[in-house]
Amino acid sequence: MTLQQMISASKSIVFFGGAGVSTESGIPDFRSADGLYHQKYDVPPETLLSHGYFLKHTKEFYRFYREKMLCLGAKPNDAHFKLAQLEQAGRLKAVVTQNIDGLHQLAGSKKVYELHGSVYRNHCISCGKQYGVEKILQGEEIPLCSCGGVIKPDVVLYGEALDDRTVAGAVHAISNSDMLIIAGTSLAVYPAAGLVQYFNGNHLVLINRDPTPMDCCCELVIRDKVGEVLGQITAE
Ligand SMILES: [Zn+2]
């Protein structure tokens, strides 16, 4: 069966995506060869984006975060738009994403489980008050709440746990789906990658430029760019 045939035969598709879904929108992939990990910083990005570093070096964290993590000019690509169409057509039930860029919602997707949070949501670590991304963009080196507390992005940093409700929602969607499309992820990041183990449906498809540990278990493996592949799909 082709990808189109599988999609046309399915009624409750779930899409599980990683960084490779957003690279065609110009957002760098953390773990790829030309990604952030291979650029030069005094401190490795894995440390810069850790919970401990945020608490101890908040100013430096925000310098890096504003420069490298906030890609607010990025636009959704064909992958994002096609998934939104598939949802509207009643075929796709949910998008589960490891990305924090909000591009699925920008493209029109409604049901999105953001495993690693979103740059668009932020909160005060003292009183919990919520803030939009404008607050982070404002001039202050360290964005502060009206109560004086430090504001933190609702982004899951290294050393932090995933949000329980988001994980539960993703597990529920995946375990009730009849088709799972895994795309743009090396499946190297746990516990997020472990979620695909809950799939029990008919068609398991993987779209990724490089080989992954899941290739052997999939009905169909497509080694190509996610946007180019999904762009050719008819949504009805
Ligand atoms: Zn506060």
In the numeric block, the tokens 């290739």 are attached to: 215
Helix, strand, coil content of the chain in percent (nearest 5)? 35, 20, 45
Which residue has better confidence, 219 or 29? 219
* Sheet-wide strand order for 179-183: 112-114, 92-97, 13-17, 179-183, 203-207, 220-222
- Quick one: pLDDT band at residue 38, thresholds 50, 70, 90? low
Q: What is the pLDDT of residue 157?
A: 95
Question: Average pLDDT for residues 219-230, to the nearest whole number?
Answer: 97
What are the φ and ψ backbone dihedral angles of 2, each rounded to 5 degrees? Answer: -85, 165
Cα of 143 from ligand 1 centre, angstroms: 11
Residue 97 has pLDDT above 90, yes or no: yes
Cα 230 to Cα 3, 77, 135, distances in angstroms? 9, 10, 35
Question: Average pLDDT for residues 122-137, to the nearest whole number?
Answer: 96
* Choice among 44-48, 121-125, 154-158 with the minimum mean pLDDT: 44-48
Q: Above pLDDT 90, what percent of the chain?
A: 76
C-alpha 209/C-alpha 224 separation (Å) is 5
Q: What is the pLDDT of residue 69?
A: 86
Q: What is the pLDDT of residue 28?
A: 78
Cα of 44 from ligand 1 centre, angstroms: 30
- Quick one: pLDDT band at residue 32, thresholds 50, 70, 90? low
Residue 34 has pLDDT above 60, yes or no: no
Q: What is the pLDDT of residue 236?
A: 77
Q: Exposure string (b/e) for 87-96, b if CB count within 10 Å is 16 or more?
A: beeebbbbbb
- Quick one: pLDDT band at residue 207, thresholds 50, 70, 90? very high
C-alpha 100/C-alpha 108 separation (Å) is 16
Q: Whole-angstrom distance between the N-terminal and C-terminal Cα of the chain?
A: 17
Which residues, 6 or more positions from 48, have their beta carbon under 8 angstroms from its beta carbon? Answer: 41, 60, 61, 64
Catalytic machinery residues: 116
Cα of 129 from ligand 1 centre, angstroms: 5
Cα of 123 from ligand 1 centre, angstroms: 8
Cα of 128 from ligand 1 centre, angstroms: 6
- Quick one: pLDDT band at residue 35, thresholds 50, 70, 90? low
Cα of 146 from ligand 1 centre, angstroms: 6
- Quick one: pLDDT band at residue 213, thresholds 50, 70, 90? confident
Residue 33 has pLDDT above 60, yes or no: no
From 123, 83, 90, 38, select the one nearest 233 (Cα to Cα): 83
C-alpha 104/C-alpha 76 separation (Å) is 7
- Quick one: pLDDT band at residue 41, thresholds 50, 70, 90? low
Which residue has better confidence, 68 or 191? 68
From 82, 35, 21, select the one nearest 208 (Cα to Cα): 21
Tokens of residue 200, six digits: 């029990």
Cα of 106 from ligand 1 centre, angstroms: 28
The H or E element spanning position 3 is: helix 3-8
203-207 vs 179-183, strand pairing mode: parallel
